[in-house]
Amino acid sequence: MPLQNRVTPFGDIVAVTARGTLMGNRGGRLHGPDRTLGPRRWTGRAWIACVLCFKDRRRTVMGDGYTELFFLDEPTALAAGHRPCFECRRAEAKAFAAAWAAAHGLPEPPRAGEMDIVLHRQRLAPSKPVMPLAGLPDGAMVALPADPARAWLVMGDRLHAWSPGGYGPAIPQPDVSATLLTPPAIVETLRAGYAPRPASIVPAPHPSTSSGCGVDGWTKAAPMPSP
Protein backbone atom coordinates (compact mmCIF):
# COMPACT_ATOMS: atom_id res chain seq x y z
CA MET A 1 0.00 0.00 0.00
CA PRO A 2 1.33 3.49 -0.83
CA LEU A 3 2.02 5.88 2.02
CA GLN A 4 -0.22 8.89 2.52
CA ASN A 5 2.35 11.48 1.53
CA ARG A 6 1.40 12.93 -1.90
CA VAL A 7 0.11 16.50 -1.91
CA THR A 8 -2.60 17.68 -4.31
CA PRO A 9 -3.06 21.23 -5.63
CA PHE A 10 -5.89 21.57 -3.11
CA GLY A 11 -3.36 20.99 -0.31
CA ASP A 12 -4.75 17.58 0.63
CA ILE A 13 -2.34 14.75 1.50
CA VAL A 14 -3.34 11.51 -0.23
CA ALA A 15 -2.07 7.98 -0.82
CA VAL A 16 -1.43 7.17 -4.49
CA THR A 17 1.06 4.99 -6.34
CA ALA A 18 2.21 7.73 -8.77
CA ARG A 19 5.54 9.31 -7.92
CA GLY A 20 6.53 12.95 -7.52
CA THR A 21 9.29 15.25 -8.79
CA LEU A 22 9.71 17.33 -5.61
CA MET A 23 9.79 16.55 -1.91
CA GLY A 24 8.92 18.86 0.95
CA ASN A 25 7.53 19.18 4.44
CA ARG A 26 5.24 21.27 6.62
CA GLY A 27 7.57 21.99 9.48
CA GLY A 28 7.79 18.67 11.28
CA ARG A 29 6.39 15.24 11.95
CA LEU A 30 2.81 14.42 11.00
CA HIS A 31 3.01 10.60 11.15
CA GLY A 32 3.16 8.03 13.88
CA PRO A 33 5.28 4.90 14.39
CA ASP A 34 3.00 2.95 12.04
CA ARG A 35 3.83 5.42 9.20
CA THR A 36 0.28 6.70 8.96
CA LEU A 37 -0.77 10.33 9.38
CA GLY A 38 -2.26 11.60 12.57
CA PRO A 39 -4.87 14.37 12.69
CA ARG A 40 -2.41 17.22 12.08
CA ARG A 41 -1.61 18.41 8.55
CA TRP A 42 1.11 20.89 9.54
CA THR A 43 3.29 21.74 12.51
CA GLY A 44 4.63 25.18 11.54
CA ARG A 45 4.39 27.99 9.02
CA ALA A 46 7.44 26.94 6.96
CA TRP A 47 5.95 24.80 4.20
CA ILE A 48 8.74 24.09 1.71
CA ALA A 49 9.34 22.27 -1.57
CA CYS A 50 12.71 20.55 -2.01
CA VAL A 51 14.66 18.52 -4.55
CA LEU A 52 14.56 14.75 -4.25
CA CYS A 53 18.35 14.36 -4.04
CA PHE A 54 20.70 16.70 -2.16
CA LYS A 55 24.32 16.19 -1.09
CA ASP A 56 23.89 12.42 -1.08
CA ARG A 57 21.74 12.60 2.04
CA ARG A 58 19.71 9.49 2.67
CA ARG A 59 16.34 9.26 4.39
CA THR A 60 13.77 6.64 5.20
CA VAL A 61 10.38 8.04 4.29
CA MET A 62 8.16 8.49 7.35
CA GLY A 63 11.01 7.46 9.60
CA ASP A 64 12.13 9.13 12.82
CA GLY A 65 12.21 12.73 11.54
CA TYR A 66 9.85 15.07 9.77
CA THR A 67 7.15 13.77 7.43
CA GLU A 68 8.35 13.81 3.83
CA LEU A 69 5.70 15.02 1.40
CA PHE A 70 5.83 14.67 -2.38
CA PHE A 71 4.51 16.76 -5.26
CA LEU A 72 3.95 16.06 -8.94
CA ASP A 73 5.82 19.29 -9.74
CA GLU A 74 6.40 22.86 -8.60
CA PRO A 75 3.05 24.32 -9.72
CA THR A 76 1.42 21.64 -7.54
CA ALA A 77 3.61 22.54 -4.58
CA LEU A 78 2.97 26.26 -5.02
CA ALA A 79 -0.80 25.70 -5.30
CA ALA A 80 -0.69 23.82 -2.01
CA GLY A 81 1.14 26.79 -0.44
CA HIS A 82 4.72 25.45 -0.39
CA ARG A 83 7.60 27.77 -1.34
CA PRO A 84 11.08 26.80 -2.60
CA CYS A 85 13.55 25.65 0.06
CA PHE A 86 16.44 28.05 0.73
CA GLU A 87 18.89 25.21 1.41
CA CYS A 88 18.53 22.65 -1.38
CA ARG A 89 16.91 24.99 -3.95
CA ARG A 90 18.71 28.21 -3.10
CA ALA A 91 18.76 29.67 -6.63
CA GLU A 92 15.02 29.10 -7.05
CA ALA A 93 14.30 30.40 -3.54
CA LYS A 94 16.25 33.61 -4.19
CA ALA A 95 14.46 34.08 -7.52
CA PHE A 96 11.13 33.49 -5.77
CA ALA A 97 11.91 36.04 -3.05
CA ALA A 98 13.05 38.61 -5.64
CA ALA A 99 9.84 38.16 -7.64
CA TRP A 100 7.83 38.35 -4.40
CA ALA A 101 9.49 41.69 -3.60
CA ALA A 102 8.74 43.02 -7.09
CA ALA A 103 5.14 41.84 -6.88
CA HIS A 104 4.50 43.37 -3.48
CA GLY A 105 6.46 46.61 -3.85
CA LEU A 106 9.13 45.73 -1.30
CA PRO A 107 12.54 47.46 -1.34
CA GLU A 108 14.40 44.17 -0.96
CA PRO A 109 13.63 40.44 -1.05
CA PRO A 110 11.83 39.28 2.10
CA ARG A 111 13.15 36.69 4.50
CA ALA A 112 11.63 33.22 4.38
CA GLY A 113 9.75 33.75 7.63
CA GLU A 114 8.17 36.96 6.38
CA MET A 115 6.77 35.14 3.35
CA ASP A 116 5.65 32.24 5.53
CA ILE A 117 3.49 34.52 7.67
CA VAL A 118 1.61 35.78 4.61
CA LEU A 119 1.32 32.34 3.04
CA HIS A 120 0.09 30.68 6.21
CA ARG A 121 -2.69 33.23 6.58
CA GLN A 122 -3.76 32.60 2.98
CA ARG A 123 -3.50 28.81 3.32
CA LEU A 124 -5.81 28.83 6.34
CA ALA A 125 -8.36 31.24 4.87
CA PRO A 126 -11.91 29.84 5.13
CA SER A 127 -12.47 30.19 1.38
CA LYS A 128 -10.43 30.62 -1.78
CA PRO A 129 -10.79 33.61 -4.10
CA VAL A 130 -12.77 33.39 -7.34
CA MET A 131 -11.51 35.41 -10.31
CA PRO A 132 -11.59 35.46 -14.11
CA LEU A 133 -9.29 32.97 -15.81
CA ALA A 134 -8.16 35.56 -18.34
CA GLY A 135 -4.90 37.15 -17.26
CA LEU A 136 -3.79 34.54 -14.72
CA PRO A 137 -0.04 33.83 -15.00
CA ASP A 138 1.48 30.58 -16.20
CA GLY A 139 1.93 28.15 -13.34
CA ALA A 140 -1.21 29.15 -11.44
CA MET A 141 -3.70 26.41 -10.68
CA VAL A 142 -7.47 26.70 -10.60
CA ALA A 143 -10.70 24.73 -10.23
CA LEU A 144 -13.51 25.32 -12.71
CA PRO A 145 -17.13 25.83 -11.61
CA ALA A 146 -18.33 22.90 -13.74
CA ASP A 147 -15.95 20.49 -11.97
CA PRO A 148 -14.79 22.00 -8.66
CA ALA A 149 -12.98 18.85 -7.52
CA ARG A 150 -10.49 18.87 -10.44
CA ALA A 151 -7.40 21.08 -10.59
CA TRP A 152 -6.18 22.72 -13.80
CA LEU A 153 -2.78 24.21 -14.65
CA VAL A 154 -2.77 27.57 -16.46
CA MET A 155 -0.33 27.69 -19.40
CA GLY A 156 -0.85 30.55 -21.85
CA ASP A 157 -4.45 30.51 -23.05
CA ARG A 158 -4.76 26.78 -22.31
CA LEU A 159 -5.54 24.65 -19.29
CA HIS A 160 -4.07 21.23 -18.45
CA ALA A 161 -6.05 18.83 -16.24
CA TRP A 162 -3.97 17.76 -13.21
CA SER A 163 -3.68 14.19 -11.99
CA PRO A 164 -1.20 12.58 -9.56
CA GLY A 165 0.63 11.04 -12.54
CA GLY A 166 0.80 14.09 -14.83
CA TYR A 167 -1.24 16.43 -16.97
CA GLY A 168 -3.85 15.76 -19.62
CA PRO A 169 -4.00 17.35 -23.09
CA ALA A 170 -4.54 21.09 -23.24
CA ILE A 171 -7.99 22.60 -23.61
CA PRO A 172 -8.80 26.25 -24.45
CA GLN A 173 -9.47 28.43 -21.44
CA PRO A 174 -13.22 28.90 -21.01
CA ASP A 175 -14.53 32.41 -20.50
CA VAL A 176 -15.45 31.89 -16.84
CA SER A 177 -14.33 32.79 -13.37
CA ALA A 178 -12.52 30.03 -11.50
CA THR A 179 -11.53 29.22 -7.93
CA LEU A 180 -7.88 30.13 -7.46
CA LEU A 181 -6.04 27.26 -5.76
CA THR A 182 -2.62 28.91 -5.74
CA PRO A 183 -2.36 31.42 -2.86
CA PRO A 184 -2.82 35.00 -4.10
CA ALA A 185 0.62 36.09 -2.90
CA ILE A 186 2.21 33.34 -5.00
CA VAL A 187 0.04 34.20 -8.00
CA GLU A 188 1.39 37.75 -7.88
CA THR A 189 4.91 36.34 -7.55
CA LEU A 190 4.32 34.28 -10.68
CA ARG A 191 2.98 37.37 -12.42
CA ALA A 192 6.16 39.23 -11.45
CA GLY A 193 8.32 36.70 -13.25
CA TYR A 194 8.91 33.61 -11.12
CA ALA A 195 8.69 30.65 -13.52
CA PRO A 196 8.02 27.21 -12.01
CA ARG A 197 8.61 24.10 -14.09
CA PRO A 198 5.56 21.90 -14.56
CA ALA A 199 5.98 18.18 -15.00
CA SER A 200 5.72 16.68 -18.46
CA ILE A 201 2.44 15.23 -19.63
CA VAL A 202 4.39 11.99 -20.07
CA PRO A 203 5.80 10.79 -16.72
CA ALA A 204 9.59 10.53 -16.55
CA PRO A 205 11.70 8.00 -14.61
CA HIS A 206 12.52 8.76 -11.01
CA PRO A 207 16.06 10.05 -10.31
CA SER A 208 16.72 7.19 -7.90
CA THR A 209 16.80 4.76 -10.83
CA SER A 210 20.09 6.23 -12.04
CA SER A 211 21.59 8.69 -9.54
CA GLY A 212 21.58 6.93 -6.19
CA CYS A 213 18.93 9.28 -4.83
CA GLY A 214 18.67 9.03 -1.06
CA VAL A 215 14.90 9.02 -0.69
CA ASP A 216 13.08 5.71 -0.36
CA GLY A 217 10.19 5.43 -2.64
CA TRP A 218 10.09 8.38 -5.09
CA THR A 219 9.92 11.38 -11.51
CA LYS A 220 12.67 13.49 -12.58
CA ALA A 221 11.80 17.09 -13.46
CA ALA A 222 10.71 17.00 -17.05
CA PRO A 223 9.99 19.54 -19.79
CA MET A 224 6.96 21.72 -19.24
CA PRO A 225 3.83 21.03 -21.27
CA SER A 226 3.43 23.22 -24.31
CA PRO A 227 0.66 25.85 -24.06
Handedness of CA 97, 83, 188, 204 (dihedral sign): positive
CA distance 145 to 167: 19
| pTM, to two decimals | 0.89
Domain chopping of the chain, boundaries: 4-127+183-211
* Contact (CB, 8 A) for 220 and 207: yes
- pLDDT tens across 77-114, in order? 999 999 999 999 999 999 999 999 999 999 999 999 99
3-state SS class at 142? strand
Q: What is the mean pLDDT of residues 29-44?
A: 95
- pLDDT tens across 143-181, in order? 999 999 999 999 999 999 999 999 988 899 999 999 999
